[in-house]
Copies of this chain bind each other. A is one copy, B any other.
Amino acid sequence: MLQPMAIALVHHPVLDRRGDVIKSAVTNLDIHDLARLATSYGLSRYYLVTPAQEQQLLIERIAKHWREGFGAEYNQDRCRALGLLRTVGSLEAAVKDWRGLVGPAALPVLTGARHKQGRTFRAVRTLARHQPLLLVFGTGHGLAPDIYANGWPQLAPVRNGCYNHLSVRTAAAIILDRLVGERGRVLAAGSD
């Protein structure tokens, strides 16, 4: 049994293809795909990280449609999945909220295709048995250097072949499956 687990999808600060720090746009599919994924694997929170107020409003409008509006009755599975969703302005706010829920031992783990020296999946699975994790995913071309300055552990890339350019949706799916597994169970965080 794994300790409670959460994911954060970061839209700022992330890099673009030239290496500049940008705010990326929230996409509807990222909201749904990752919420359904997180729910399927028993996670307790899915943080959408964006400082852009108009993006936060967009997320809330989409989430409200499926949680409360016509969508909740039309599609109860999406309703349930979006119950995990929290919109926050920064990764720090996500870490703070998650630690408030599961305790100060909760540890962010950064994911990225460039982490050639990152911890193995086996090592992070062991971590996950002992403390609540917050898996951090970057949009665009990955998390910006500021986030690495925290010294949080980094997870190795999904594949080490010559081609490793997965979308954040498919990479997150593979990472959760490797950590939790086909039959693995994750403890639920205390409800709020």
A residues at B contact (CB < 8 Å): 17, 29, 32-33, 36-37, 39-42, 75, 77, 80-81, 121, 158-161, 163-167, 169-174, 177-178, 182-183
- Copy number in the complex reads 2
* A167 cross-chain contacts in B, Cβ below 8 A: 29, 32-33, 36-37, 169
Pairs A–B under 8 Å by Cβ, sample size 27: A17-B75, A29-B167, A33-B167, A33-B170, A36-B165, A36-B166, A37-B166, A37-B167, A39-B163, A39-B165, A40-B158, A40-B161, A40-B164, A42-B161, A77-B163, A77-B165, A158-B177, A159-B182, A160-B182, A167-B169, A169-B169, A169-B173, A170-B172, A170-B173, A173-B174, A174-B177, A177-B178
- Shortest distance between the CB of A114 and any CB in chain B (Å): 14
Q: How far is the CA of A32 from the CA of B42 in the complex (A)?
A: 28
Residues of chain B with a CB closer than 8 A to A160's CB: 182-183
Which B residue's beta carbon lies closest to that of A113? B40
Closest partner residue, chain B, to A32 (CB atom)? B167
Residues of B within 8 A of A165 (CB): 36, 39-40, 77, 81
| A88 vs B29: C-alpha distance when bound (angstroms) | 25
